[in-house]
Structure 1
Amino acid sequence: MSPSRQLAAIMFTDVVGYTRLMGEDEHRALQLLRKNRNLHKAIIKKQNGKWLKEMGDGTLASFSTPSDAVFCAKELMNTCREEEIILRIGIHQGEITEEGGDIFGDGVNIASRLESLAPEGDIYISESVARDIENKKGLDTDFIRVQKLKHVKHAVSIYKVNIGEKVMPKQPNQLAELEKRKDKSNEMSIAVLPFENMSGDPEQSYFSDGITEDIITDLSKVSSILVIARNSSFTYKGRSVKTREVCADLGVRYVVEGSVRKSGNRVRITAQLIDGLTDGHIWADRYDGTLEDIFKLQDEVTCQIIDALKIHLLPEEKKAIKKVHTPSIQAYEFYLKGREHFHYYTKDNYQKAQDYFNRAIEYDESYAQPYCGLADCGSFLHTLYGGEYLLSDALTASTKAIALAPDMAEGHASFGLVLSNTGDYKGAVKEFKTSVRLDPNLYEAHYYWARTCFTQGKLEEAATHFEDAWERSPKDPQTPSLLLQVYRSLGRQADLDYAAKATVKAGFQKLEEEPDNWRTCLSLAFGLLNLKQFSESIKYLDLALKNNTDDALINYNVACLYSGMGEINKAMHHLEISLKLGNNTIGWIKNDSDLDQLRNLPQFLELIKKYL
């Protein structure tokens, strides 16, 4: 019979832990395999599928429609776990070639890769499957990430099928997964360290920092590279570090270092790419030009890095990297100054950032990125400091950003944050999905998405997206410190302990460079609290509160810390200050396990009723 080509939904399944069980108890392992085989054959047939073959403890099946495949996967998952068989499953729809009772093609390869990526007890599907089932009753999905798969030309958007609560605990495997995700030394992963300001004027550091951020942003648009976010790479600012130590710290293979010299209208950028495994220089170059050439120089640096790594760019990635956002150098410089202030995360600095973003827009009204900055500042000012900061202004700015640059990931992340703050969670998630599709490495997209899930009480999803953000910024203590309350609520004690230790380690390292960073002080205090080091936690709590007694966000976190220590009166005192100052994060307060000791107190209920 000649081979036939057809479109089909391909399903791969695998029994979790079978190899280990085979080594421990061969008889029991074989019994389990027979039971698994019988369940698979019956359910695949019931759901209109075709059993193709068994590969060790795995099975391969095909279906005429994606919905049949997903319904089959859900039934298999639920039925098998009742028999103490835990699966991971991957499904993809694509063209296959069938010959001699077997099937071949990219569709088979992608389904196999998805199965291998899925955590235990999960079903991973491709975008083609997710699109087909999006309106099917009883089939809900969550976007996970965009990832380059081995031997697959284009990056694949990965979705998870919601199947309800899992029976098997995830703690040990989740820890292993976090460790595995941190070790990217043999993958295409990179950190861009802050370019040194060689201008002889400390006030020009905003410019060299901005160049660094823009290179990070451009590289992050390449789906086949994991790029470390600014929050982590900038912890090395001003430090003399060894490349191998940086790579080990951040879990990356490559590091980019450089410098910027700005003198009058002239700019010189030097950059070098270093392999963390060999400590050898792969590429280095120097670029000279005028301020008007700055975007061209940045493009050259980014493209040279990509060429040196022998990465094949997708057409849309080439277009995104080469896009010039503004021809106005004045607008660009004001934007960089605004971004510098934004990263201090205080009320005063949000307001200063807004001023600079507005000045950038005065020079170029069609410059989309300052509108994103305005939207983010507006979102945080409204949420943390009260209604006098109108969310409608943030909404206007974010929609303007998308209108000007519909393919800019930052705009969709900013719009998603605004929608989340208005309570339009469905619309917010749609924007976050778009943002991650456009830029899989954008830290803010994963971070804002996680916060949105947490506000809704979707803690499993919040954990997933916080972990995605943490993967992209492993040196920033903020993200793991937020995971502490999520893991506690989910009962994932092993993950909680791991995240607490990671928070403390990252916090101490960051405070060495930024001893007055209140955000880091609070993260460190939470990490120490969860390690039962109360006196040390109070030390950093006090440091954060020093000179910030009228800050709503800081007082809220201080209340959470005192609640965790059982200091009820102090916790209530600072919570009331926070609410008086305009904190209106009712969804966050509702789901924050740090406040669990206060929830049933009459004074707590009265306080919430009074202010929220």
Structure 2
Amino acid sequence: MPKNSLSHHLAALWFADIAGYSARVVEDERGALQLVEILQGLSRSTVQLYEGRVVKFLGDAVLAEFPSTEMAVRAAAVLSKEYAKQSAKSGRAHDLRIGVHLGDVAVDADGDLYGDGVNAAARIEAAVDPGQVVISEDVWRQIRGREGFRFERLGNRSLKGVGSIDLYVVTLDEALATTSVSNAEEKSQRSKQRKEKIRSIAVLPFADLSAEHDQEHFSDGVAEEILNALSKVGGLHVPARTSCFAFRGATLDAREIGKRLGVETLLDGSIRKAGKRVRISVQLVDASNGYQLWSERFDREIEDIFAIQDEIARSVLESLGLALTEREEFRFLKPTTTNIEAYEAYLRGRKLYHKWTRQSVEFARQMFERAVRIDAGFAAAWAGLANAHVDLFRWGRNPRDLEEAQRASEHALKLNPNSAEAHVSAGQALAIQRRFAEAAIAFERAIEEDPTLFEAYYLYGRVLFESGDTEKSAKLFEKARHVRPDDYQSQCLLGLALTQLGRLEEARHTDQVAVESIEKYLELNPDEARAYSLGANSAMRLGDKVLSKRWSEQAIELAPNDPLVLYNAACNLALLGESEHALDGLERALEAGVSVGDWIQHDPDFKSLRSHPRFQAIVKRIAPT
């Protein structure tokens, strides 16, 4: 049993196993395996029909839990009867033994159950004759007055580890059993219709249950791969990683998380990695009521991780009644490596890159380099390496980063010409060399390859704003906002572009939306300097000097040496009319390594300073010649 603290609840549960299975294995191994397949298939469908959850399969046995004792017993009786019929397909019919109990259980983070309740159900099942469904006295007391059940008292039995307990054989009246199945199927059909109307899902970070708790990069990476795959499906709204992962470790229930993220379903799970084995437990939850729509557990070799990710994503789509188009199928979870060691290094790099500090991006670069050393054909890692070098150049303006960004992006494209991410990397590398026309071609190709890729629109928009094509940059920020409605960055920069274009009424509305979005975002991410920094500029353009000043100060407190935070603070000071302080701020940003290129020449926040000799001198130092 795991050592970490577990939650507890009262549950109706049963164990079922196949009578005569061991002897059948000796006689006919193939037929015995078919018996297990039949049990697993019937268990999944029957348990779901009666609103339960299959906890796990153990060889020829299954453990399931239910929200009520009546549901548990009806499911057990239906399963027992149906299995006796279906098992004949293996060449000889077999019966099940099923023991049902009501007791306290401890729930591990991966959904497994432990405790006296589980032990009692297992001991009851072991005392059952083939074809019987036997219930404990606690279960009998719950359903003894319910219509349709017949009971036969077996008397008091002494069970190992449980003690003395009264047991009862239970059967269902034939007519009512049929009605029960019919009612359950009708309810299931209503549930199916509800699921087919669901068109939004949040993928929460998967819990790291590894013994050393040192695999968060792996659990995050798997969840992010699934999130990215689902976000490519037309008609399905998937909030961004930053929004979803803000709920790491949250104690809120599914309904509250769903409300905050604006989604109808949640996908969460856990990963336990040990050596070359991995166990992944996932569940899809209806955010309106907290009920489970689908769950599964995968116990596989680590080399199967790519297949598991694909299976989880496709199972979610199937549960929601969605199908991939031919184009979506082409883009859906296509790994560019089969080397697990390289993949792990890549996931470590991605986790570090998402922190987006100068130090973390440098560490990310090292991880991406490690990944491509292990597998030189890993296109996604080469694209990640290019992005890291682009950002490092923006911070430090080291010519070597510029050269390496170009080399890595070209290599990524050589390996995978259809990779939208690689074309984005190439576009960035070209843009920082002021090769704007070539960069535009790369970004356009990225959008052609993957119209759902947020970064393609957002980063392309930034490049166009910097190059002076403000009209088109506004259109791209709008498209980025459409692809990822919960992203605040595209909203802030759209407000900036509209201000530069003189479309002030539209700009004001956009800035209001941006501030509201940031306020919501900061509730979940109160320590992100960039949100305060960009939000301060939007608030200032709206005339809210108090909020703008507070957010700007908060950004500097969180990241006092961040060049972009210092740059945005200077923007605010310029809008306040504090010219000398704004110029001092730009000097500090320059000393910190800001590399905004031609952006500063088109930034409307500095309109009042354009003719100032000191500002012109700073522009010459910041913008490339």
Give the TM bin, normalised by the shorter chain: 0.5 to 0.7
Determine if contact 2:561/2:592 at 8 Å carries over to the other structure: yes
**Aligned partner of residue 210 in structure 2, secondary structure:** coil
Match of 2:173 in 1: none
Amino acid of the residue matched to residue 337 of structure 1? R
* Range with greater deviation from structure 2 (281-290 or 398-407): 281-290
Look at both structures and tell me which one has the larger radius of gyration over its CA atoms.
2
Amino acid of the residue matched to residue 204 of structure 2? L
Aligned 1:184-333 pairs, distance under 5 A: 188-199=199-210, 201-241=212-252, 243=254, 246-247=257-258, 249-275=260-286, 281-321=292-332, 323-333=334-344
**Aligned partner of residue 236 in structure 1, secondary structure:** coil
- Percent identity, aligned pairs only, is 34
How many angstroms does 1:488 deviate by? 1.6
**Aligned partner of residue 207 in structure 1, secondary structure:** helix
Aligned 1:396-435 pairs, distance under 5 A: 396-435=407-446
**Aligned partner of residue 462 in structure 1, secondary structure:** helix
Does residue 1:603 correspond to 2:603, yes or no? Answer: no
Match of 2:8 in 1: none
Render the CA deviation track for 1:445-469: whole Å, top value 9, x for unaligned. 1111111221122223222222222
Name the TM-score, length of structure 2 as normaliser: 0.63
Relative to structure 1, the CA distance from residue 335 to residue 349 in structure 2 (aligned partners, 3 Å threshold; closer, same or farther) is same
Does residue 1:352 correspond to 2:363, yes or no? Answer: yes
Does residue 1:394 correspond to 2:405, yes or no? Answer: yes
Does residue 1:366 correspond to 2:386, yes or no? Answer: no
Render the CA deviation track for 1:146-185: whole Å, top value 9, x for unaligned. xxxxxxxxxxxxxxxxxxxxxxxxxxxxxxxxxxxxxxx9
Does residue 1:578 correspond to 2:578, yes or no? Answer: no
Match of 2:189 in 1: none
Amino acid of the residue matched to residue 468 of structure 2? G
Distance 2:484 2:517 in 1: 11
How many angstroms does 1:566 deviate by? 1.6
Distance 1:240 1:475 in 2: 22
Determine if contact 1:232/1:474 at 8 Å carries over to the other structure: no
Does residue 1:540 correspond to 2:539, yes or no? Answer: no
Distance 2:567 2:313 in 1: 41
The structure 2 residue matched to 1:562, chosen from 564, 568, 573, is: 573
Determine if contact 2:204/2:266 at 8 Å carries over to the other structure: yes
Match of 1:521 in 2: 532
Match of 1:135 in 2: none
How many angstroms does 1:397 deviate by? 0.5
Render the CA deviation track for 1:111-169: whole Å, top value 9, x for unaligned. xxxxxxxxxxxxxxxxxxxxxxxxxxxxxxxxxxxxxxxxxxxxxxxxxxxxxxxxxxx
Amino acid of the residue matched to residue 426 of structure 2? F
Name the TM-score, length of structure 1 as normaliser: 0.64
Distance 2:603 2:431 in 1: 17
Distance 1:596 1:391 in 2: 30
Distance 2:268 2:208 in 1: 12
Render the CA deviation track for 1:73-93: whole Å, top value 9, x for unaligned. xxxxxxxxxxxxxxxxxxxxx
How many angstroms does 1:278 deviate by? 7.0
Determine if contact 1:254/1:274 at 8 Å carries over to the other structure: yes
Match of 1:448 in 2: 459
Amino acid of the residue matched to residue 525 of structure 1? A
Amino acid of the residue matched to residue 343 of structure 1? H
Match of 1:464 in 2: 475
**Aligned partner of residue 284 in structure 1, secondary structure:** strand
**Aligned partner of residue 271 in structure 1, secondary structure:** strand
| Unaligned runs of at least 5 residues, structure 1 | 1-184
Distance 2:197 2:583 in 1: 49
Match of 1:506 in 2: 517
Match of 2:175 in 1: none
Distance 2:479 2:211 in 1: 38
Match of 2:351 in 1: 340
How many angstroms does 1:347 deviate by? 1.4
**Aligned partner of residue 343 in structure 1, secondary structure:** helix
Render the CA deviation track for 1:426-485: whole Å, top value 9, x for unaligned. 322222222223322222111111112211222232222222222333334323222231
Distance 1:301 1:278 in 2: 22
Determine if contact 1:250/1:474 at 8 Å carries over to the other structure: no
Amino acid of the residue matched to residue 330 of structure 1? E
Render the CA deviation track for 1:175-197: whole Å, top value 9, x for unaligned. xxxxxxxxxx9784433222233
Distance 1:497 1:272 in 2: 42
Distance 2:486 2:213 in 1: 25
Render the CA deviation track for 1:54-103: whole Å, top value 9, x for unaligned. xxxxxxxxxxxxxxxxxxxxxxxxxxxxxxxxxxxxxxxxxxxxxxxxxx
Amino acid of the residue matched to residue 598 of structure 1? L
Determine if contact 1:235/1:510 at 8 Å carries over to the other structure: no
**Aligned partner of residue 447 in structure 2, secondary structure:** helix
Relative to structure 1, the CA distance from residue 434 to residue 255 in structure 2 (aligned partners, 3 Å threshold; closer, same or farther) is farther
* Range with greater deviation from structure 2 (205-214 or 514-523): 514-523
Amino acid of the residue matched to residue 453 of structure 2? L
**Aligned partner of residue 538 in structure 2, secondary structure:** helix
Match of 2:494 in 1: 483
Amino acid of the residue matched to residue 592 of structure 1? D
Render the CA deviation track for 1:238-266: whole Å, top value 9, x for unaligned. 32445555555555554323222323433
Relative to structure 1, the CA distance from residue 311 to residue 505 in structure 2 (aligned partners, 3 Å threshold; closer, same or farther) is same
Relative to structure 1, the CA distance from residue 486 to residue 319 in structure 2 (aligned partners, 3 Å threshold; closer, same or farther) is closer
How many angstroms does 1:300 deviate by? 0.8
Match of 2:603 in 1: 592
Relative to structure 1, the CA distance from residue 186 to residue 567 in structure 2 (aligned partners, 3 Å threshold; closer, same or farther) is farther
Does residue 1:380 correspond to 2:391, yes or no? Answer: yes
Determine if contact 2:240/2:486 at 8 Å carries over to the other structure: no
**Aligned partner of residue 578 in structure 1, secondary structure:** helix
**Aligned partner of residue 464 in structure 1, secondary structure:** helix
How many angstroms does 1:587 deviate by? 2.0
Relative to structure 1, the CA distance from residue 570 to residue 221 in structure 2 (aligned partners, 3 Å threshold; closer, same or farther) is same
Amino acid of the residue matched to residue 211 of structure 1? V
Amino acid of the residue matched to residue 268 of structure 1? R
Relative to structure 1, the CA distance from residue 439 to residue 584 in structure 2 (aligned partners, 3 Å threshold; closer, same or farther) is same
**Aligned partner of residue 239 in structure 1, secondary structure:** coil
Distance 2:482 2:257 in 1: 15
Match of 1:437 in 2: 448
Determine if contact 1:525/1:538 at 8 Å carries over to the other structure: yes
Distance 1:272 1:441 in 2: 25
Determine if contact 1:385/1:552 at 8 Å carries over to the other structure: no
Determine if contact 2:386/2:406 at 8 Å carries over to the other structure: yes
| Alignment: residue pair count | 428
Determine if contact 1:260/1:269 at 8 Å carries over to the other structure: yes
**Aligned partner of residue 403 in structure 2, secondary structure:** helix
**Aligned partner of residue 293 in structure 2, secondary structure:** strand
Cα root mean square deviation, aligned: 2.7
Distance 2:223 2:541 in 1: 35
Distance 2:281 2:605 in 1: 47
